[in-house]
Structure 1
Amino acid sequence: GVVITFWFYLSDRYIPKIVGRAEYKKKKNHLFINSRISIILLIINHNTTLTMSLPKVLIPMSDYGHDPTETAVPYHTFKTAGFSVHSATETGGRPACDIKMLEGITQKLLGATQATASLYKEMSQTDVFTSPLSWSSESFFLKPYHLVFLPNNNEKGYWKGVKKPGKKCIGAVCHGVMVLSESMMEGNDGAEKKSIIHDCDTTSLPGMFEGMAYWSTRWVLGDYYKTYGAGSENVEASIMKRLDDPERQWKQYLLLNPFVVEDENYNYMSARWPGDVQLLADRLVDLVRENVNN
């Protein structure tokens, strides 16, 4: 408004001397009308852009113990992509990561890199982190979210929208895949319950990785790397037994370069461990954009 008013002020003073006042008055009225139309269209376009909903992402976290790499790297990637990111804990309390992954010898051996630790510190100071939603609240629903990124909690009803051509997406890494494999759905006509990923291609923490981490650190960390205690079933075995055809559906990869599995029939991607999480987050950004834009 100020710029346009100033422009007309200068025009009123100088242009009539060049083209004549009567001719200028006619041109000015025409220009003023066109300018108002342009401004209205600009405002409409601006407001439309602002009100268009950004893709919404939910990252559920445990009250304590989430992996800093598996949360901070996806959070940063989703925010950089322009997504609206939210977090949730069971009762809405502020979550705390597994401190062993940020400090001491465990951080140096198997924990977060310094760059990731900086990303985690940045994330931990945001409202997303300090004021999470409560997934146990009656008012909490997963339906508004375009993407749910695990490792922590999930609602089985959301899965219906993940099957193509549905537009909902799910990503899971490491133990997060077990949230899906242990989420059971009713069978037809009283049939046995099945995991919601019973017909999906998937990966997760390989048994070899889990075993190596456990046995190489047992002398100082005890059963830390056996999440459910010494002697418990490993993650790979727990997930494979929930699949219809584990030999075909379970995707094994034992090299250290990043690895992600995308299912053909569901908007579902999985990865093995923190070393895969950047690639997984990047691929999920592409998947969400593809579904939002189609």
Structure 2
Amino acid sequence: MGSKGSVLIIEDSPAVGMLLAEFMRKLGYEDIKTAESGHAGISLFKEMVQKDITPLIFLDYNLPDSTANSIMSQILPIKPFTKIIIETANGKEEDSIKEVIGLGAYHYLQKPIHFNEVEKIITILEEEESYLEKKSKQPELPKDDDIDEEKIVEHINFILKTTHQISLNKIIQILGFSNDFIETYLKKLENEGKIVQLDNKKEIACNQCDSIRTSQVFYCPNCKGSNFKLGKLIEHYDCGNISEENTYQNDACPNCKKEIKALGVDYRVMQNHYTCNDCNEFFPEISTSYICLKCENKFKLEDARWKSSMNYKVVNTK
């Protein structure tokens, strides 16, 4: 089996990283690099890009020095088409799934990782890449009434095979054109119980090319950098020091060295605050903008366009 490309694993557990790397080698991926921190992962990614390599990335949702949204906010502006698979310990609730996919991730893996799930995702990814390569060599699907319905059915079935939910606008965008047959075929699938209509979905669109393939970019409100981490801060009332929880060793303030004893009297805990690794400022919320993964245009939410269409849940596309 020949080498299938490059892989970058950003995972703070050496054991998980090693097992994942070994499994990817079994699947035919030979150029595999690992990093145990967000900083090291970003450095390796930039080195690979300089060599004209865009790796498939496995990214731990929470790292000691960074978070997934911080790392993705640094990666996607460099290479918008990078495939990122998030490893998340969060529950399989719909909101958790929407969050990681909404960040621009290709897919997600539930921890503890089951390697049969990894193989399923990699199989879909490889099929998609093969399909897109084949599609790029074919003439564009016609946009008038003289359409190849069989070819459209093939395209739509493949799109539905690789997703759990998808909007009509996204299907149209992937196909590259719109006509009545698309909705007619989706109605047929609905009648067969293979897809289910959900509510209309309102999606952010690029204000330059109108694409809905966008990703949120997060950055520090102070220095505009995207290198930050999420954690708890402790404020010591006596001296006014505010720093990360892990800086209070043995319950002693890192600034004045006094022991903190009573919560609410000596100190308070500031939950879910972001700390910028570049300027060391902390903040309860991070600033956001958007990047178009098609034309690479960057824009703010207030400048975005909005597109609505029916959203579908995939039940069975076999």
| TM-score normalised per structure 2 | 0.24
Determine which structure has more spread, i.e. the larger CA radius of gyration.
1
User: Higher helix share goes to which structure?
Assistant: 1
